[in-house]
């Protein structure tokens, strides 16, 4: 009887042992996965923090009020305060047509006049932008860098590809719902249709947002998708 009991109990004992081993294996694997995940998250946070710190506008003292950040940024820019958008156009239509003509004429000086300057950004745009409050809070220096860098690259690309080429302006269209930010209005996702040499009609995004303030229009950036 005892021998029969042992023979019957042995498979159950073995099965229980196997279950415990599988359970331990699963728990161990789960533990390793959790550790690996935590390590990956930690590495990602360190990497992102390193990227953030490498930005020219990174501010270690994050408790600085907007007014103090603006004061420091304006001081770094120098120059006189901007009271209006200088060198702009009286309408978005006029600005876009002027842009195409300047590009076809390879008129770099006029192309530069049509885009917002650092002081205009600091004095007219930034104070009423989402960058001054959560969840988009950013220092003016960082916000300007994130706009200016791709804009400079975009202008260089425009001149290299289209400067001096005959481009006939046809039409343009932006998102039908402009963005209102205080006294500023932004027209986004603008695409321009031109007739290139050879008669082909093409539609591309040659620039970023169009900024309007007090009836004057300029490009916020030359960030483009060509």
**Mean of pLDDT values over 153-168:** 95
> In this structure, are 33 and 116 located in the same domain?
no
Q: What phi and psi, each to the nearest 5 degrees, are found at residue 172? A: -150, 160
Q: What angle do helix axes 140-162 and 66-77 make, rounded to 10 degrees?
A: 40
- 63-97: per-residue pLDDT in tens? 789 999 999 999 999 999 999 999 999 999 999 99
**What is the Cα–Cα distance from 111 to 89, expressed in whole angstroms?**
12
Edge-to-edge strand ranges of the sheet holding 191-195: 168-173, 191-195, 201-204
Considering the domain architecture, whether residues 16 and 95 belong to the same structural domain is answered as no
Residue-wise pLDDT for 44-54, tens only, equals: 333 444 444 45
Tens of pLDDT, residue by residue over 207-224, are 999 999 999 999 999 999
Residue 119: pLDDT above 80?
A: yes
In this predicted structure, what is the pLDDT of residue 198?
A: 83
Q: Does residue 59 lie within any of the structural domains?
A: no
With H, G, I as helix, E, B as strand and everything else as coil, classify residue 84.
coil
Same domain, 47 and 73: no
Mean pLDDT of 10-24: 44
Total count of domains within the chain: 2
**Per the domain annotation, does 60 fall within a domain?**
no
Q: Same domain, yes or no, for 85 and 38?
A: no
Last residue of a domain, one of 34, 54, 74: 54
User: pTM for the full model?
Assistant: 0.72
Kindly state whether residues 43 and 71 are assigned to the same domain.
Answer: no
Hey, CA dihedral for 51, 53, 57, 58, is it positive or negative?
A: positive
Domain housing 193: 66-219
**Closest-CA residue to 226 (of 209, 204, 196):** 204
Same domain, 167 and 107: yes
Give me the pLDDT at residue 63, please: 73
SS3 for 42-57, per residue?
HHHHHHHHHHHHHCCC
Q: By three-state DSSP, how is residue 194 classified?
A: strand
Q: Which residues have C-beta within 8 Å of that of residue 185, sequence separation ≥ 6?
A: 178, 179, 211, 212, 213
118 and 213 both lie in a single domain: yes
Q: Token digits for 9?
A: 């109990």
Identify whether residues 40 and 138 lie together within a single domain. no
On average, the pLDDT of the chain sits at 81
Does 184 fall in a domain?
yes
The token duo for 208 is: 């970023």
Task: Tell me the two tokens of residue 139.
Answer: 């220092």
Same domain, 139 and 94: yes
For residue 138, how many other CB atoms are within 10 A of its CB? 19
Per-residue pLDDT band at 42 (split at 50, 70, 90): very low
Q: Which residues pair with 192 in a beta bridge?
A: 172, 204
């Amino acid at each position: 009887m005892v021998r029969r009991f042992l023979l019957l109990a042995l498979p159950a004992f073995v099965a229980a042992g196997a279950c415990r081993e599988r359970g331990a294996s699963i728990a161990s694997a789960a533990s390793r996965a959790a550790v690996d995940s935590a390590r990956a998250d930690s590495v990602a946070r360190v990497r992102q923090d390193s990227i953030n710190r490498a930005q020219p506008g990174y501010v270690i003292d994050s408790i600085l009020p907007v007014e103090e950040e603006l004061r420091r940024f304006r001081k770094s820019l120098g120059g006189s305060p901007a009271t209006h958008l200088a060198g702009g156009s009286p309408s978005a239509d006029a600005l876009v047509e002027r842009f195409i003509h300047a590009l076809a004429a390879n008129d770099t000086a006029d192309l530069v006049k049509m885009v917002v300057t650092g002081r205009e950004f600091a004095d007219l745009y930034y104070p009423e932008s989402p960058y001054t409050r959560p969840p988009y809070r950013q220092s003016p220096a960082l916000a300007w860098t994130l706009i200016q860098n791709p804009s400079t690259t975009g202008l260089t690309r425009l001149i290299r590809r289209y400067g001096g080429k005959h481009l006939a302006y046809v039409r343009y269209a932006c998102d039908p719902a402009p963005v209102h930010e205080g006294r500023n209005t932004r027209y986004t996702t603008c695409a321009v249709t031109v007739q290139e040499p050879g008669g082909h009609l093409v539609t591309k995004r040659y620039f970023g947002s169009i900024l309007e303030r007090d009836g004057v229009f300029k490009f916020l950036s030359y960030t483009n998708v060509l």
